[in-house]
């Protein structure tokens, strides 16, 4: 069965991937485009991510925590306080595996928390679940 078949919309979903490591961005994009047939937009810096998140409401955002300059938790705070993605699922994808960081992110508005290296199937299932949950909520203006 095609994993994207359960996504009930004729248009492709758009996912923003934020990670300062280019190889990680490309790997995550490859997994999502092949497993879920989503469109992806890539951001390598917090500033680029905030610019993109401020102008378009994505269906999901994957966010790394450890980035130079502004870290992922600050980016999450900014997205949740003032952007077109206030209610968009934000999935943290980080090497930090400690429960305190995970709990702080979830309390701060993250929808899910995955630890790198993330398994292909887990990543696809998490993004699919978050997009499906979002599409069941009342529609917002974009």
Residue labelled with tokens 């980080």: 94
Q: What's the pLDDT score for residue 136?
A: 75
Q: What are 25-36's pLDDT values in tens digits?
A: 999 999 999 999
Q: What's the pLDDT score for residue 43?
A: 98
CATH superfamily placement of domain 12-136: Response regulator (3.40.50.2300)
Q: What does DSSP assign to residue 119?
A: P
Closest of 117, 17, 18, 24 to residue 72, by C-alpha: 18
Q: What's the pLDDT score for residue 102?
A: 97
Closest of 105, 103, 101 to residue 90, by C-alpha: 105
Q: What are 1-29's pLDDT values in tens digits?
A: 444 444 444 478 999 999 999 999 999 99
Residue labelled with tokens 């949950």: 133
Residue labelled with tokens 């292909």: 120
Q: pTM of the predicted model, to two decimals?
A: 0.87
Q: What's the pLDDT score for residue 134?
A: 82
Residue stretches of the chain with pLDDT short of 70: 1-10, 137-142
| Alpha-carbon 135 to chain mean position | 15
Residue labelled with tokens 């979002």: 134
Helix axes 72-81, 46-55, angle to 10 degrees: 20
């Amino acid at each position: 069965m095609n994993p994207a078949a359960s996504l009930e919309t004729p248009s492709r979903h758009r996912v923003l991937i934020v990670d300062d490591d280019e190889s990680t961005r490309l790997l995550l994009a490859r997994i999502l485009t092949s497993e879920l047939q989503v469109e992806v937009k890539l951001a390598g810096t917090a500033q680029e991510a905030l610019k993109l998140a401020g102008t378009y409401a994505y269906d999901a955002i994957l966010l790394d925590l450890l980035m130079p300059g502004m870290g992922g938790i600050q980016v999450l705070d900014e997205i949740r306080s003032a952007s077109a993605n206030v209610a968009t699922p934000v999935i943290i994808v980080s090497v930090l595996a400690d429960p305190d960081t995970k709990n702080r992110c979830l309390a701060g508005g993250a929808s899910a928390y995955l630890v790198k290296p993330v398994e292909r199937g887990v990543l696809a299932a998490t993004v699919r679940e978050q997009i499906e949950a979002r599409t069941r909520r009342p529609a917002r203006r974009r």
